[in-house]
Amino acid sequence: MEKTIRIKYHSNEIEKLEYIAGKSDWIDLRVAENVTLKKGDFKLISMGISLQVPEGYEMLLAPRSSTFKNFGLIQTNSLGVIDETYCGDNDIIRMPVYATRDTELHVNDRIAQFRIIEHQPHIIFDEVDSLGNADRGGFGSTGKN
């Protein structure tokens, strides 16, 4: 099912959002400003867009798999969640990053990606003495290889 998202670009320099054909249903976001960071710096990096997520949905913002390798950046909140109330013209999507080394970013570098998902349904927790299932083996139990 297709959904329409209203978007405002804050820069004429960044490329318009699009799917990378045949690769993923996540959509890459591009840096909207040139940024120089020193090791240990924190910055909210502008992705140059504001958007209106459809009601009942939220946007998950994550680093691209190459962001650390290429730029030495870690997204400080691990995963960003942007709901439909963050929808004003000046609610610009930004990626909070920590630099693990000196690095430079240039307009249109792809460092983030997002997807839109439906809100989680209301959950009712049913407290029990036992789940009645076999244990899998604990955290990290599937091995190294």
Q: What is the pLDDT along the chain (145 residues), one digit of tens a residue?
A: 788 899 999 999 999 998 877 778 899 999 999 999 999 999 999 999 999 999 999 999 999 999 999 999 999 998 999 999 999 999 999 999 999 999 999 999 999 999 999 999 999 999 999 999 988 877 766 666 6
- Whether 41 is a known active-site residue: answer no
Q: Note the CATH number of domain 6-118.
A: 2.70.40.10
Q: How far apart are CA 58 and CA 93, in angstroms?
A: 13
- Cβ–Cβ contacts within 10 Å for residue 78, how many? 9
The one catalytic residue among 83, 109, 129, 135: 83
Q: Are the CB atoms for 24 and 47 separated by under 8 Å?
A: no
Complete edge-to-edge strand list for the sheet that includes strand 110-118: 27-30, 110-118, 57-63, 80-83
pLDDT confidence of residue 143: 63
How far, CA to CA in Å, does 132 sit from each of 70, 126, 137, 138?
Answer: 46, 14, 15, 16
- Phi, then psi, of 68 in degrees rounded to 5: -70, -45
Domains of the chain by residue range? 6-118
One-letter amino acid of 9? Y
Q: How far apart are CA 106 and CA 11, in angstroms?
A: 13
pLDDT confidence of residue 141: 64
